[in-house]
Amino acid sequence: MKTGEDFSWSDARGELDGLPRDRGLNIAYEAVDRHARGSAGDRVAFRFLSKGGEIREMTYRELSEETNRFANALRTLDVAPGETIFLLAGRIPELYVAALGALKARAVVCPLFSAFGPEPIRSRMEIGDARVLVTTTALFRRKVASWRDELPELSHVLLADATTEQASGTRGGTSLRALLDTADPEYTIEPTDPEDPALLHFTSGTTGTPKGALHVHEAVVGHHVTGRSALSLREGDVFWCTADPGWVTGTSYGLVSPLTNGVTSVVDEQEFDSERWYRILEEQGVNVWYTAPTAVRMLMKSGDELPRRFDLSRLRFIASVGEPLNPEAVEWSQRVLDRPIHDNWWQTETGGIMIANVEGMEIRPGSMGRPLPGIEAAIGRRTDGGADLIEDPDVEGELILRKGWPSMFRTYLHEEGRYRSCFSGEWYFTGDLARRDPDGYYWFVGRADDVIKSAGHLIGPFEVESALIEHPAVAEAAVIGKPDPVVGETVKAFVALHPGQEESEDLLLEILGHARSRLGSVAAPKEITFLDDLPKTRSGKTLRRLLKARELGTPEGDTSTLEEPS
């Protein structure tokens, strides 16, 4: 692969096969079928580790047949290209088969994080015009059944763990296994334009509904080359991306990129457990490991002696993403694991890694690294029709990227104006504040808005506030991100009660429980403070900034627009 000034996205596109007979570019073909038809057909594509300890391996050839069956199943269900398939499941084989099979059928794939509560799931499926949902019986009952009738266009609920008889009790319910068993294992992918929609990932904003970032099949070009340049993937490697596919990392680099690069991916169904993780690295012979700073900090808490009980000699490269990796974590990894962690930076909207500490590069602990080949980054300020670039080093500004890379999102679903507002001229404004040092390394400073970043997840305050206000005792709510040494930030809420409601520990627990049941453990507040009134501007806008300053004891800044207390 060419690097630096010799790199071009056109050349990178040439590293992939394309559909036979010049019929376009399809993510699933590049990830699965081109390997299945060649000498790599018998290589293990996925090694699934279940919670109970069972291991299921699936070769590229077997994966091709299973995904063909799913694509044919969608055809029998009259699912048309461009319709959206939502995936709500843990890290089980059926989720990965469904994602790739849907891409073969040219449907749009939208994975949902299974730890979400009913409300975030419902809102995302409503925005995404859900036609098909692939899920499990337990998740459907706990998180979908209560509002399922609100989405009449949801025609099919494919249950991964149900028999035909068990699925018949669900409106639109079908046994996924029964469907696959009767489907043809042969499938020819129809012509796919590189600009055809392929992946839908939701991200949170400060106001309004979640934003559905839509990516196209050409994104596979970015997934493929960044897997090698940023993650050092080599054909035949054993790779473990710990991210759930409900998070964009788990799709771009837990599903697509490792397959296009011909590696064996380890997928662990179980949630975090430090000893289990070290054992997986040893027993599965992991060469490249991609994880999150929160997980690294949790490993650090488990002590320095635990990893020394395991043979990690085959581990060649470690990378992390999701939030800034603090310098202490980099130094711990070098001291305890005998190799550094290579931090990198990207977003749901970018679709793939943009800035990274690549293999062989000097690591400066705390830095996200340098832009990858093909990516032009800068620090700048928005102007009419463009950007004012900040050339001086170590000056804070917004991190911006010159548009044009293949995995760049193409729109926010149904919100073209919101999409256009992200750009000025040729530049995409990321919403992240950063600085660039004299040697071209980029350093994250913070968000330019109120979005809360917790354990790598972006949490929109509006969604949380809306759920809190649904409680009959709550008149107003505002939430902020509160610094946390493990997850980066936790959600803290400030609540004003309706007249006649009395503050109490029981009410506080009741509101916390309500929020958790509506939002799930990821987005629900961990702490609530009751206030008589929330600070607002004279125009009525709640000042989250002021609440955060008061909580953290930092300067309150300009309060000239603050509403006079009544």
Residues 356-397 pLDDT 10s: 999 999 999 989 999 999 999 999 999 999 999 999 999 989
> In 144-169, which positions are buried (b, 16+ CB within 10 angstroms) versus exposed (e)?
beeebeebeebbbbbbbbbeeeebee
Instruction: Say yes or no to pLDDT of 4 above 90.
Output: no
Is 533 in contact with 565 (CB distance < 8 Å)? yes
DSSP state of 207: S
Q: How many CA atoms lie within 13 A of 515 on its CB side?
A: 31
Question: pLDDT-derived band of residue 563, with 50, 70 and 90 as boundaries?
Answer: low
Per-residue pLDDT tens digits for 210-219: 899 999 999 9
Please state, in angstroms and rounded to a whole number, the distance separating the CA atoms of residues 201 and 346.
Answer: 14
| Residue ranges of the chain assigned to CATH 3.30.300.30 | 452-552
Percent of the chain with pLDDT over 90: 80
413 DSSP 8-state letter? T
Question: What order do you get walking across the sheet with 288-291 strand by strand?
Answer: 55-59, 44-49, 264-268, 238-241, 288-291, 317-320, 341-345, 355-356, 370-371
Name the one residue in this structure whose structure tokens are 């970018």: 350
User: Do the Cβ atoms of 388 and 233 come closer than 8 Å?
Assistant: no
pLDDT at position 283, please? 98
**Per-residue pLDDT for 560 more than 50?**
no
CB 251 within 8 A of CB 111: yes
Which is it for strands 377-383 and 397-402: parallel, antiparallel or unpaired? antiparallel
Token pair, residue 351, equals 């679709």
Buried/exposed 509-526: b ≥16 CB within 10 Å, e otherwise: eebbebbbebbbebbbbb
Residue 1 confidence class, pLDDT cut points 50, 70, 90: very low
Whether 266 shows a pLDDT value over 70: the answer reads: yes
C-alpha dihedral sign at 289, 241, 482, 302: negative
pLDDT value for 564: 54
* Percent of the chain predicted with pLDDT > 70: 96
Q: Which CATH architecture has domain 452-552?
A: 2-Layer Sandwich (3.30)
Quick: pLDDT tens for 319-346.
999 888 888 889 999 999 999 999 999 9
Check pLDDT > 50 for residue 561: no
Q: What is the pLDDT of the chain when averaged over all its residues? A: 93
Of 18, 54, 211, give the one whose Cα is nearest residue 127: 211
Q: Where in the chain is the domain with CATH 3.40.50.12780?
A: 4-373+413-431
Contact 26, 217 (CB under 8 A): yes
The residue type found at 468 is L
Which of 463, 241, 204 has its CA nearest to residue 348?
A: 204
Q: What is the per-residue pLDDT for 144?
A: 96
Give the whole-angstrom CA distance, residue 241 versus residue 250. 7
Angstrom distance (rounded) from CA 392 to CA 280: 45
pTM listed for this prediction = 0.86
Band (pLDDT 50/70/90 cuts) for residue 181 is very high
Check pLDDT > 70 for residue 37: yes
CB 221 within 8 A of CB 406: yes
How far apart CA 331 and CA 339 sit, in angstroms, is 9
Q: Which of 235-239, 274-278, 322-326, 508-512 has the lowest mean pLDDT?
A: 322-326
Say whether pLDDT at 538 is over 70.
Answer: no
Provide the 3-class DSSP secondary structure of residue 420: helix
Q: What is the DSSP string of 498-535?
A: PTT----HHHHHHHHHHHHHHHBTTTS-SEEEE-SS--
Residues with Cβ within 8 Å of 432's Cβ and at least 6 positions away in sequence, in order, are 345, 347, 398, 399, 444, 445, 446, 447, 448
β strands within 53-170, DSSP E: 55-59, 84-88, 108-112, 130-135, 156-159
Q: Which residues contact 421 (CB under 8 A, 6 or more apart)?
A: none
Q: What is the mean pLDDT of residues 279-304?
A: 94
Amino acid at the residue 100: L
pLDDT of residue 206: 63
Provide the pairing of β-strand 156-159 with 173-175.
parallel
Cα torsion through 50, 55, 56, 60, rounded to 10: 110
| CATH homologous superfamily for the domain 4-373+413-431 | ANL, N-terminal domain (3.40.50.12780)
- Amino acid letter for position 366: G
What are 433-447's pLDDT values in tens digits? 899 999 999 998 877
CA distance 416 to 25: 25
Q: What does the pLDDT read at residue 537?
A: 60
Cα separation, 38 vs 330, whole angstroms: 40
| pLDDT tops 60 at residue 399 | yes
